[in-house]
Structure 1
């Protein structure tokens, strides 16, 4: 079947490397190796340990690993992850904190569907939990979704966001990170016309490609150079027999990971070389800095072919969001119809994925929104990851986002705060 052989070949190569790593780790760990003065066996074992772990992570969905949060009463409260809305291609999940009273802030994090799981936002969730009731869009791996579930493109994604916002109510504060920023903006505009009472209270867009042409990056250059026919031939494959989604056309996560790694190949190569040396010396740990990062970075998921291709064509090539002519279910979505939702954009000055200028372009599209409800923050020295999960997020951006949410809380939230005092 077309493109299925290449999908299974990639999985076979991954599986083989995982097996080679496990074999090398086992061979180098035999007791007899200890009597040999040459460090060959220690290095072999270390190489195998790092290799096995790395290739195994590529097909594993990471856990959230958020078990407790400290409440205002100073006590640890147990955190349970509970599905609120369940759909074939993604769920809305709630980080339910046991024994904690109502929170004045309700936040919906819109996780990117760009090759990684929603757990990429683990540190973002953990940083918000003490101060907010947190919900997250948990997108599913396309390889695990049967063909019978149908298609899923950017219009379906947008309608999922619409349904999630409706489920949470008008007091929710939406934070969209990276890829979903333009679609979260479109979903809000869709609600502005179809169901104004269901619009979120605030919308924060972090490092998203609202107008990809506003600032060039390697991502936008690639999007301009390649034709849609070339992209389909190069990137799209059919899920193999190993998974429930057998036969579904997807953009494989392993291909996306290869492109991620190639952008900073020297840095990644050096990181793995140093980790092997640390493992050989007995200095590596299960949850050290390297493993914490790469356990998440290497865990990738497949995207449906129609979602990936429609994103490239409609967001990057045709600039439908940037030019305010995006359509959902046959209806043109007018971003200018947003008149009451406070909108904030956040960018990093060293973001090489969504360069400064791409996200703030959203504010120019909001022609019906007063300037008093618009805000922008450019974080000096921050890269793409840093503006939502790194030091810049923790120290500067998170407090600003919470302040923005509070400043647009409205009278009903003020009443809630007074009731809690």
Structure 2
């Protein structure tokens, strides 16, 4: 029923968006007698804002054509390295990278948005690294015969992607995937896996949500597990390839996040309206570009979402040493040689201060020289991995950490070969 209501609402909004866009163009048309009046400009701008807000969003493209390094532009190559039912592995490289450039796996969130939300993260890290990123599938397009996908599967996918990249790779988890990527690192460490990451960078991740709980955390713990199962889980309708699959719809996730910051989003759209009235096309385009990405959402499998609510937000299984993967306990004490960098934003209202840093406390057998913490001042959740502060003050910290440990790992490898 939830999906059917959404589909009906979406059809009306699509029609409304098209009509508003057409009327906006009419008010802006130089042939319209009142086109240059203040009233027409205000009406055209208001209708354009509504048309943009109500327009349907498809999966965005990464669209990274070039990257500039030390003042020189280099052509970027984007390929799909691995194809799997619930997520592909994308590879980005460019003509200016040396043959021995570090290889970095960026684990994108499976939280309702596409991996393209990390476009800015990929673009910046691509300056010095060959970048791989998990491109998670929209669950409504995955046929039922492909089976289920839960937290155990997520961890297995990360292990498999690291195996494909090979020994000596680095890993970066942004927000939600910090937990499964951290667990995958421990699983690989216990097995002595040669492809375990040299470094693991976790950014704004909910490692231990008991630290500085946010509104997101409170929402997850104030309602019992069964409430989520009965109220936000629905079945994919027949007009999609994943018909019959139980999912947590992306449109529900988007509505939840927007409602928690409704005032902020309303002011952003009012700002968009003012920019358009004033003819500030650059500022208007920047706002539109953000919402084009932010409002493009996808579905998660119900089993993954519900398990995440339970394990990450309600029982805190990983930091308490109670997380189990494929019947075996995940022991973070097994991590002894993966250098860990934890990054948090001072104004993060999704993952509070201390939640990611907790990773450094629960790795007792990792030497202190392999641990680092960085608190980004005056930075919110999305600013940790996107925008000016990410590019100018946070990414250099990651660069230094990855490059330093990459050199050390290669030096140890060469020494062992000589020995």
TM-score by length of 1: 0.91
Quick one: distance in 1 between partners of 2:36 and 2:337? Answer: 72
Q: Structure 1: how far apart are the matches of 2:194 and 2:412? A: 20
Would the aligned equivalents of 2:93 and 2:129 in 1 still touch at CA under 8 Å? Answer: no
Residues 236-245 or 249-258, more deviating:
236-245
Shift of 1:95: 0.6
Change over 3 Å in CA distance of 1:384–1:412 after alignment to 2: closer
Q: How does 1:184-223 map to 2 (within 5 A)?
A: 184-223=181-220
Equivalent position SS for 2:365: coil
Give the superposition deviation at 1:375. 1.4
- In structure 2, the residue matched to 1:284 is 281
Q: 2:318 touches 2:330 (CA, 8 Å); kept in 1?
A: no
Matched, 1:143 2:136: no
The 1:403–1:98 alpha-carbon spacing in structure 2 relative to 1, beyond 3 Å, is closer
Question: How far apart, CA to CA, are the structure 2 residues paired with 1:363 and 1:100?
Answer: 32
Query: TM-score, normalised on structure 2?
Result: 0.91
| C-alpha displacement of 1:195 | 4.5
The equivalent of 2:23 in structure 1 is 24
CA–CA distance in structure 2, aligned partners of residues 25 and 148 of structure 1: 46
Q: Deviations over 1:361-396 (max 9, x none)?
A: 111211221222111112222211112213332222
- Report the CA distance shift for 1:276/1:164 in structure 2 as closer, same or farther (over 3 A): same
Offset from partner CA, 1:178-208 (integer Å, 9 cap, x none): 0000110001111112352121101111110
Please, which runs of 5 or more residues in structure 2 have no aligned partner? 415-419
Task: Provide the C-alpha distance between the structure 2 equivalents of 1:97 and 1:416, rounded to a whole number of angstroms.
Answer: 26
Do the aligned residues in 1 keep the contact of 2:77 with 2:94 (CA within 8 Å)?
yes
Q: Is the partner of 2:194 in helix, strand or coil?
A: helix
1:176 equivalent in alignment to 2:177: no
2:29/2:35 contact within 8 Å kept: no
User: Which runs of structure 2 are paired with 1:35-74 in the superposition (5 Å)?
Assistant: 35=34, 39-56=38-55, 58-70=56-68
Equivalenced residues, count: 414
- Aligned counterparts, 1:78-97, within 5 A: 78-97=75-94
* Contact 2:97 2:129 (8 Å CA) reproduced: no
What CA deviation, in whole Å up to 9, does each residue of 1:230-271 have, x standing for no partner? 212221222234432232222111121112212221221122
| 1:4-403 map, 5 Å | 4-29=3-28, 33-35=32-34, 39-56=38-55, 58-70=56-68, 75-98=72-95, 100-285=97-282, 288-403=285-400
Partners of 2:314 and 2:126 in 1: CA distance: 37
Farther off after superposition, 236-245 or 10-19: 10-19
1:55-108 deviation digits (Å, cap 9, x = unpaired):
33x531112121012356x65322121111111111111013246431432111
Change (3 A) 1:201 1:182: same
Q: Is the CA contact (8 Å cut-off) linking 1:114 and 1:179 kept in structure 2?
A: yes
Query: Retained in 2: the 8 A contact 1:7–1:240?
Result: no
Q: Structure 1 pair 26/406, CA: closer, same or farther in 2 (3 Å)?
A: closer
The whole-number CA distance in structure 2 between the counterparts of 1:94 and 1:128 is 12
Q: Give the C-alpha shift of residue 34 in structure 1.
A: 2.8
Question: Root-mean-square deviation (CA), in Å?
Answer: 2.4
SS at match of 1:34: coil
CA contact (8 A) 1:7 1:238 kept: no
What is the CA–CA distance in structure 1 between the aligned matches of 2:298 and 2:54, rounded to whole Å?
A: 14
Q: Distance in 1 between matches of 2:387 and 2:38?
A: 37
Distance 1:283 1:391, change over 3 A: closer
| Separation (CA, whole Å) in 2 of partners of 1:37 and 1:393 | 41
Q: Is the 8 A contact 1:79 1:95 kept in 2?
A: yes
